Amino acid sequence: MAGIAISATIKPGQENTSTMSRQASDVLSLTSAQRKTAWNDLRSEATKQKAPSGFEATVGSSVPTALKIEPVPSKTAGAIPSLRPYDFAMVQGKLVIVNPSDKKIAEVITG
């Protein structure tokens, strides 16, 4: 029985996105159009939550364990691929994008 060898050539500067996975970081820079899309897509998906006393939703701050964060839905991640590895929550009328590995807020979006 003969085997079939398949090879793929990736040209310089070309990425194989099917095998590359993005890692979430503590800083996320979205364009104004991406922020608007994220707000429109995620605000209805997010459970509106009351913030614990003293918590301020700012980039770099840690999300309290009392807040429920959820993975960014595939529809939104498809429209904004940089959001794929992140979680999100709605708190204090703000959409917070959270790095799931350390629970730090990477982006705050308001309507």
| 3-class state of residue 96 by DSSP | strand
Whether the per-residue pLDDT at 11 is higher than 80: the answer is no
User: What CA–CA distances, in Å, run from 72 to 67, 75, 83, 103?
Assistant: 15, 8, 7, 14
C-alpha to C-alpha distance for 54 and 1, rounded to whole angstroms: 70
pLDDT tens string 43-99: 988 877 888 888 999 999 999 988 999 999 999 999 999 999 999 999 989 999 999
List the domains of the chain with CATH numbers: 32-109 (3.10.450.160)
pTM: 0.76
Specify the pLDDT at position 26. Answer: 79
pLDDT tens string 17-43: 333 456 888 789 899 999 999 999 999
